[in-house]
Chain A
Amino acid sequence: MSDSAIVEAARQFILDRFLPGEAAGALTPTTPLISTGILDSLSVLELVTFLENRYSIEFAAHEVDRAHLDTLVAIESTVRQKGGRG
Chain B
Amino acid sequence: MSGNALLVALAEHARSSPDAVFLVEMDGRTTTYGALASLATRIAETLREFGVRPGDRVGVHLRKSVDAVAAICGILHAEGIYVPLDAAAPAARSASILVDCGARAVLTGGPSGEVLRQELAALDAAMQVHLLTGVGGGAGIQEWLVQSGVPVTGTQGGHPTSPDSAACILYTSGSTGGPKGVVIPVRAVESFVQWAIASFAPNPCDRVASHAPFHFDLSIFDLFVPMRAGASVLLLDDSVVANPRLLVECIASRGITIWYSTPTTLRMLLDHGRLEETPSGALRLVLFAGEVFPLPQLRRLTRAWPAPRYCNLYGPTETNVVTWFEVPPDFDFDREPSLPIGEPCAGVIVMVEADCGGMAGAGEVGELLICSPTTMTGYWNRPDLTARALQKDSQERLWYKTGDLASRDERGVLHFHGRRDRMIKRRGYRIELAEIEAALSHHPQLGAVVTSTRVDSRGQTVIVAHVTLRGAERPSVVDLKKYCSAHLPLWMIPDQFEVLHSFPMTSTGKVDLQSLGTRDPGS
The answer to whether A and B touch directly, with their CB atoms under 8 angstroms apart, is yes
A residues at B contact (CB < 8 Å): 18-23, 26-27, 31, 35-38, 40-42, 44-45, 48-49, 60-62, 64-65
Which applies to chain A's interface (DSSP): helix, strand, loop or mixed? Answer: loop
A83 to B496, CA, bound (A): 34
**Chain A residues, CB < 8 A from B243:** 61-62, 64-65
A42 surroundings in chain B (CB, below 8 A) = 264, 268, 427, 460
Which parts of B444-502 form the interface with A (CB within 8 Å)? 460, 476-479, 481-482, 484-485, 490-491, 493, 495-498
Pair B246/A37 contact, Cβ less than 8 Å: no
Binding site for A on B (CB under 8 A): 239, 241-246, 249, 264, 268, 271-272, 427, 460, 476-479, 481-482, 484-485, 490-491, 493, 495-498, 521-522
Are A21 and B521 interface neighbours, CB within 8 A? yes
Contact between chains at B478 and A36 (CB < 8 Å): yes
Given A21-B477, A21-B522; A37-B484 close (CB under 8 Å): yes
- Evaluate contact between B478 and A41: CB separation under 8 angstroms: no
Chain B residues in 8 Å Cβ range of A61: 243, 245-246, 249
Complex CA distance for A11 and B69, rounded to whole angstroms: 41
Q: In whole angstroms, what is the CA distance A77 to B493 when docked?
A: 28
Cα A41 to Cα B240 with chains together (Å): 11
Query: In the complex, A41→B241 CA distance in Å?
Result: 9
Residue numbers in B under 8 Å from A40 (CB-CB): 490-491, 493
Bound together, the chains give a CA A75 to CA B268 distance in angstroms of 22
Contacts of B245 in A (CB 8 A): 60-61, 64
* Partner of A45 from B241, B268, B477 at Cβ < 8 Å: B268
**Residues of A close to B496: CB separation below 8 A:** 20-21
Partner of A65, one of B239, B271, B490: B239
Ordered by A's residue number, 20 sampled pairs between the chains whose C-beta atoms are within 8 Å are A20-B496, A21-B522, A22-B477, A26-B478, A26-B479, A36-B485, A37-B484, A37-B490, A38-B478, A38-B482, A41-B241, A41-B242, A41-B490, A42-B264, A42-B427, A44-B242, A48-B272, A61-B243, A62-B243, A64-B245
14 further contact pairs, Cβ within 8 A, besides A42-B427, A45-B271, A60-B245: A20-B521, A21-B496, A23-B476, A26-B478, A27-B478, A36-B481, A37-B482, A40-B491, A42-B264, A42-B268, A45-B272, A49-B272, A61-B246, A64-B243
